[in-house]
Structure 1
């Protein structure tokens, strides 16, 4: 499960008490009338019906019948600020305990939900609330509501010391994992030094190791009884359901749960500081970073939208002042951002500046301070403010695509209802955004950012990188049947120059997604010059003959459009997500970028520095360190797939890349006969084809080279590679082999085998190392897609003192799944239902549809791949599944890569005698 988040989602933490409600349903959702002005982006509307049960539970229902899925979003108005000093981390620990079973549903919650096809399944905790959410097939709603209600009303009877100790261990490993990441030390220091002692935000959400160790069973009972009553809860059902049906089901499952005790609520406590206070810490990072924080008013205050706009103008992307000066013009920083993080009783305005390697952090700080002071003196220009408003409104427009999960419609309603009692509160926020003036933004900045900052410098470590009728709960509701998948069909046309166009219509939101798919990718890089593909794609938006880099960013932001360009192993992708209202104008800019990149020399030099800095960051992150060397260990150094998995290349190659290399890459691979344009969203072929013909019709076809992706042999024997990362709190263990391509005949079935082994929460290796041994926050395995042979790899971050023991367990698990402990019928059935029942929840947004169709097109899968997927999965038998596992998984020929503190773990690994042990550096070179 996901753990905690530091700040609220979508400005959802609001400093008001949940208002009382009526016991009958009240429908809401009248259209919002837009005032006259420059922007034509409407404030989104999420209609809902509200009910309040007699036990105080607030129910909100939103109808959206585009897919047979219902989002369940449960918000408890309790977070880390409700803890006491000495008992910190309790809200988050309890979030984990809520997943461990209840009196009438005594099973792992995630395992059970995976079996019924739940997607967007998780729980999170922040300072102000704890939420639990899942999207379930409509036919499984009763089952899920039974489970959700049972853990609300009937948890304590099955919480014992063993469960408490297990989840305590999981949380502590999560804390280690977070702190083991570059810059992970900053969060604790920022929290402790920006709030006064005793302030409810003065401890971290995850808490301290000491307090977690001290958590007792009486603490568990007191916390649950005090905070998890229905009268402290907002439940949102959004999706394929009607208000009447929702009310009946919620009354049935939640109505007999008694209300909890009355709760005191915190009042606003901004804790504005005076003077400047500074801190310095060293971390194993390649780049120095500066954090600068002010305490400011919280969410849904008059200041919040003004400071949000100020943060966007100052450091909100490529149109921001920070980016233009620090990253783009003077190139002092590789990233520079500003954010206004709004929580319930207070907020924080934060600047985060990461120095470019070799640049003194003091210069970065001075430049950032100068930009801040200039903006405070003059305020934003009208044009800057208009861009910021458009960006925020466009972000909210995209919310209406999704019913659940982070940032979906149910999240929006739940947050507003929890903190204000008004599920429509986001409309008031957006009205304030639209009405804000430059003078108001300037005033808010001067009121709150003129004094009282805390500055934390993170410097590289000196050694370098290194009342309802009682429900009968004796029997669970019967599981429903899989829902029928009804995806929009793939419509096809061809432009006059041969460019293939594929369209999937989806009219749920006024948004259209364009993806230009070019058959290239990292595999198109020459062995002598890796990194060209990824750098070329990044350079696309840095200018055309008629548009400079900053102008491109400003045009897209003014149109409410999002642009991105990236590569994977086998392809390049240029993406545009446009609002329907501005689609023609956005397409004109998009086509110019795709067809006419200028690859300006000054931008190339800047992005080369950024890419070199990214490589340095990879070489300090334990997971990325392994992923840089694994491909060459499996494919051999001359193979097209042997490059670091990030595609960034090497320091040597990136330093040598010239503008001519990028021009040649674009000229060679970017041709209409080597590309497909995938369009998903609120348009039709009749509408979009003339626009595409106008934008891309002049693009000329031509010959394209063939990539040489040869088949290689599996490793002959087990080899263990060790990479030293001194001081690591965890070791990261990778087990790797080769697997058949993504479009192999058994690809679907192999995915099910992987689900059982390591591809789900309830997988064998995760249940072993996390849930049974609690040596890790979470382990898993994956099959990254490829046109040629794929990698099949497990990834296991484990506490350092359990490295040898964890490796032993993994070796055993590989041997078991390959035949030592055959996959059972029950395991297969769980994986089958998880894969098939969860399928409808995977196609909710235009982006999800685009991703699915991209997979079909890139890997040349059958067009009916997803329509036949359920039948293919359900036809699997245990005998076929075990035969596939036995011939695919090769325990005796695995390549193991361990990244950790070798002074503590090397001897133990060698004592295992798994095979030859080789020490290598972060570039894969031998180390004596």
Structure 2
């Protein structure tokens, strides 16, 4: 994937698209008794499959371009999804990483489009992105209907007229960006695992062995001639599937596609590769050391690809083993013997093979031999006994429920456009998803057991990550694997090649008028106990999403012990007066429901995603978790150990460590100084008790601090009685509701400074910087600041990202954001950069901020992009139920009017360059910034000299016992 920074508007879109023994609680918090078990509505897997349908029409141009059209008129947008049938599996020795490198080059402009992002983002496209994987390269944009011709013109120009614009300068810059993307992944805890997994499972030369991002050596050696040849050999229209989904029909689409793509000549057909699963001759065990907090044990095999008849059974079988919340591994190792803090198992499916993986993070203090014996016993018992009928049904129902939810989106990387494209590319059938879903619905315990025994009884590759010093570098990994035996003189990556003729001139079409945003109608009700209810009805899919927000959040820990709120919330689904954790998980799976309990700085939230047919029992289960948590000593000890392991993980993650440090430094003793992950600190987490959990529950989870918001396929007449039944008898206690001191004093303003946290052997430095602003998220009239942030670092075309990523190639992405909490806001800058450019990056950030607006006022192009471009993008931001729910909740939290987003277009149009510049001058200057750098001290510290900022050096905490 080639993008990472998000604008405040784009980040909004991303956030919108988003879419763990005491007596029972005191009597005032109790509702009417609930049944011992709620029974799901009689919705069978076959009935769920019948609800999944994406009608389409298909046509093929004479040059071989296949086009699929799906009509969905719910919003005035069209998703453009293009799949090229080339991925890393097609790369030969010495050219690893080429498909992904070309994905980046595709955005650098073509013969008639100087920059691919600028026109599309100005037209309101969101998202505009691309990604590469073993089997394909894809590009996605969802545009207003009036911008469809522009999107097709641009996609056709880079398909047919790209090479004249691919210069040595562009190649060098994108080579640097890709190499920093590789370093960013390698720098994470367990970041080298994927390299070792492929090396151990597959022989040298197998198309799935080398990584998609490739090796540093191959990227360094890539020449302009190489990349030209790669393009002409793979990117012809006959190797492409185009999907148009949304506000479009085939009759309209056909002439448009013929107009823009019809004159592109066919290219060579891509030769098939042999890339099936491999059986190891004998079991293999390998340990690697890494800067990680806990031992991770894994078991790995290859298996057949997505078109194999056994793949649905393997997918469901692995989901039962370690994907469900009630999985075999969870039940036996996390909640049963308590030898693991987390587990998972999955089938990572590709076109021609898949990777079967089961994994456990060993609980600190547990002997490795004990953990390994328990781990392997779960698999042996599972293969011997097979799954139960109930397990198969629960797994299939939960997977199908997720598929139905995915139908809300017409585009993006996982919407209906991608579903149809992948069916055509991988299976020559756009409706192949129906075959897969029907096969899953028809599975039996016997068929799942047979597939698992066939593939998991083969010799295993046990790959284990052991805490310790990292001894190898990702720079030397990801390539073919036999470079030492096939040494060749390195190519000159700057060898001179002749320029290519520009080709025929083509003119971009104008963007037609874009329909205004229509936010869904809002209905209101109040339960008998005073809880306000907000509903936005939407009927695109037979599901709904509900959030119950409590005015608490991690800031509430300012009145308690740090980590209290997060740990208390994690315990709500671990047992009630009538259910244990396994029963809670199983019931959700039978219902096709998902109950997520989490917090933010301002709110503690219980979110329910449910099938409309199963709403009543899903609500009853949700109410039981909120009203009747048991807080048993045994559950508490287990969940606390998991939280301590999560804290250790946070200390080992360079970004998490930087974020925790910056937050604490900026907010001091204010409630917002509480860590944003809700884990508190090592000392406070160790001291927490079950009694404190119950006290926090009684204090903060009460009806007079609650709000309910619902979006989806339900009417208020249906919803209100069910909510009343579930929550209406819940009474507030007599004591006044607590109030968080959000007006507490902040630390006195400080001069700029740098805190360097030494993390040896880091190929990248993570730079985070920030300052608390003299406003809150509820301060009215701050829209100019949001737009100024977009100009500076809030979107892909922002100044910081264009400078440090696109021009200098030092980072995979630089971004800024202005938080909008109920209390004091914060400006935050994030810049993961190659280690040897840490000081230069800080210098560049300061210079770019200081120049805005004094030396570089807002340009006309920037003004159009962040105002009119954002306005045009609005209809696409509210495509999903989760998106609308997020907006409703945010409006309530920030005390905005319900029609805020409908008013926003008018507000943006009234904001000129001067207002944006004024906001930048007031809020976005570098003076007083605190920089936190997590990186290798011996590499970084010398670079910080001459920045005229005091430097404080700290050691990185090694685990939860330190901070």
TM-score bin, normalised by smaller chain: over 0.9
Partner of 1:327: 334
Query: Within 2, Cα distance between the matches of 1:778 and 1:463?
Result: 25
Deviations along 1:785-828, one digit per CA (max 9) or x if unpaired, are: 21111111101111111111111101111211253432223322
Moved more, 575-584 or 709-718: 709-718
Partner of 2:649: 617
> Structure 1 residue 660: deviation in Å?
1.7
Partner of 2:820: 785
> Structure 1 residue 473: deviation in Å?
4.8
Counterpart pick for 2:286 among 258, 279, 285:
279
Deviations along 1:807-866, one digit per CA (max 9) or x if unpaired, are: 110111121125343222332222113321211111111111111111111121121110
Partner of 2:61: 53
Query: Within 2, Cα distance between the matches of 1:110 and 1:661?
Result: 52
Q: Does 1:73 align with 2:81?
A: yes
Q: Does 1:704 align with 2:737?
A: yes
Matches within 5 A, 1:216-295: 216-267=223-274, 269-295=276-302
Cα pair 2:517 2:902 within 8 Å, conserved: yes
Cα pair 1:191 1:201 within 8 Å, conserved: yes
Secondary structure of the structure 1 residue equivalent to 2:53? coil
Cα pair 2:419 2:433 within 8 Å, conserved: yes
Cα pair 1:715 1:894 within 8 Å, conserved: no
Cα pair 1:117 1:137 within 8 Å, conserved: yes
Partner of 1:846: 881
Cα pair 1:715 1:895 within 8 Å, conserved: no
Partner of 1:476: 508
Cα pair 1:115 1:833 within 8 Å, conserved: yes
Which structure has more relative contact order (CA 8 Å, sep 6+)? It is 2
> Structure 1 residue 227: deviation in Å?
1.0
Q: Does 1:725 align with 2:778?
A: no
Secondary structure of the structure 1 residue equivalent to 2:64? coil
Cα 1:590/1:726, change in 2 over 3 Å: same
Secondary structure of the structure 2 residue equivalent to 1:447? helix
RMSD, aligned CA? 2.0
Matches within 5 A, 1:350-365: 350-365=357-372
Cα pair 1:530 1:654 within 8 Å, conserved: yes
Deviations along 1:136-176, one digit per CA (max 9) or x if unpaired, are: 11111111111111111110011011111111111101111
Cα pair 2:43 2:613 within 8 Å, conserved: no
Query: Within 2, Cα distance between the matches of 1:746 and 1:712?
Result: 23
Partner of 1:823: 858
Partner of 2:716: 685
Partner of 1:155: 162
Q: How many residues align?
A: 887
Partner of 2:793: 758
Partner of 2:597: 565
Q: Does 1:919 align with 2:942?
A: no
Partner of 1:887: 922
Q: Does 1:88 align with 2:93?
A: no
Q: Does 1:542 align with 2:574?
A: yes
Cα 1:173/1:141, change in 2 over 3 Å: same
Cα pair 1:630 1:644 within 8 Å, conserved: no
Moved more, 528-537 or 353-362: 353-362
Cα pair 1:176 1:729 within 8 Å, conserved: yes
Secondary structure of the structure 1 residue equivalent to 2:737? coil
Cα pair 1:274 1:453 within 8 Å, conserved: no
TM-score normalized with structure 2 length: 0.90
Partner of 2:913: 878
Query: Within 1, Cα distance between the matches of 2:470 and 2:764?
Result: 19
Matches within 5 A, 1:175-194: 175-194=182-201
Secondary structure of the structure 2 residue equivalent to 1:252? helix
Matches within 5 A, 1:280-319: 280-319=287-326
> Structure 1 residue 472: deviation in Å?
7.8
> Structure 1 residue 899: deviation in Å?
1.1
Query: Within 1, Cα distance between the matches of 2:751 and 2:925?
Result: 10
Secondary structure of the structure 1 residue equivalent to 2:662? helix
> Structure 1 residue 595: deviation in Å?
1.6
Query: Within 2, Cα distance between the matches of 1:118 and 1:335?
Result: 39
Secondary structure of the structure 1 residue equivalent to 2:601? coil
Counterpart pick for 1:650 among 681, 695, 710:
681
Query: Within 2, Cα distance between the matches of 1:795 and 1:351?
Result: 33
Cα pair 2:290 2:466 within 8 Å, conserved: yes
TM-score normalized with structure 1 length: 0.93
Cα pair 2:522 2:536 within 8 Å, conserved: yes
Deviations along 1:871-911, one digit per CA (max 9) or x if unpaired, are: 11121111111111111124221111111111111122133
Query: Within 1, Cα distance between the matches of 2:269 and 2:672?
Result: 61
Matches within 5 A, 1:557-636: 557-636=589-668
Cα pair 2:661 2:932 within 8 Å, conserved: no
Query: Within 2, Cα distance between the matches of 1:38 and 1:298?
Result: 23
Query: Within 2, Cα distance between the matches of 1:66 and 1:295?
Result: 41
> Structure 1 residue 750: deviation in Å?
1.1
Query: Within 1, Cα distance between the matches of 2:919 and 2:837?
Result: 31
Cα 1:900/1:228, change in 2 over 3 Å: same
Query: Within 1, Cα distance between the matches of 2:558 and 2:290?
Result: 35
Query: Within 2, Cα distance between the matches of 1:700 and 1:318?
Result: 31
> Structure 1 residue 112: deviation in Å?
3.1
> Structure 1 residue 727: deviation in Å?
1.1
Deviations along 1:403-427, one digit per CA (max 9) or x if unpaired, are: 1112211111000011111111111
Cα pair 2:769 2:931 within 8 Å, conserved: yes
Deviations along 1:621-643, one digit per CA (max 9) or x if unpaired, are: 1111111121221121x211112
> Structure 1 residue 50: deviation in Å?
0.8
Query: Within 2, Cα distance between the matches of 1:118 and 1:361?
Result: 51
Secondary structure of the structure 2 residue equivalent to 1:65? coil
> Structure 1 residue 604: deviation in Å?
1.2
Query: Within 2, Cα distance between the matches of 1:656 and 1:729?
Result: 36
Counterpart pick for 2:699 among 652, 655, 668:
668
> Structure 1 residue 452: deviation in Å?
2.3
Secondary structure of the structure 2 residue equivalent to 1:339? strand
Cα pair 1:634 1:715 within 8 Å, conserved: no
Cα pair 1:491 1:503 within 8 Å, conserved: yes
Partner of 1:20: none
Cα 1:537/1:560, change in 2 over 3 Å: same
Query: Within 2, Cα distance between the matches of 1:347 and 1:902?
Result: 40
Partner of 1:27: none
Counterpart pick for 1:379 among 376, 386, 390:
386
> Structure 1 residue 587: deviation in Å?
1.0
Query: Within 1, Cα distance between the matches of 2:44 and 2:801?
Result: 54
Query: Within 2, Cα distance between the matches of 1:314 and 1:404?
Result: 31
Partner of 1:25: none
Q: Does 1:490 align with 2:490?
A: no
Moved more, 110-119 or 238-247: 110-119
Q: Does 1:735 align with 2:769?
A: yes
Query: Within 2, Cα distance between the matches of 1:382 and 1:606?
Result: 29
Partner of 2:941: 906
Deviations along 1:212-261, one digit per CA (max 9) or x if unpaired, are: 11111121111111111111111111111121111121111111111112
Query: Within 1, Cα distance between the matches of 2:594 and 2:215?
Result: 40
Cα pair 1:843 1:849 within 8 Å, conserved: yes
> Structure 1 residue 715: deviation in Å?
2.1
Secondary structure of the structure 1 residue equivalent to 2:610? strand
Matches within 5 A, 1:203-218: 203-218=210-225
> Structure 1 residue 272: deviation in Å?
2.2
Cα 1:88/1:888, change in 2 over 3 Å: same
Query: Within 2, Cα distance between the matches of 1:366 and 1:913?
Result: 56
Partner of 2:428: 421
Moved more, 264-273 or 75-84: 264-273
Secondary structure of the structure 2 residue equivalent to 1:911? coil
> Structure 1 residue 37: deviation in Å?
6.0
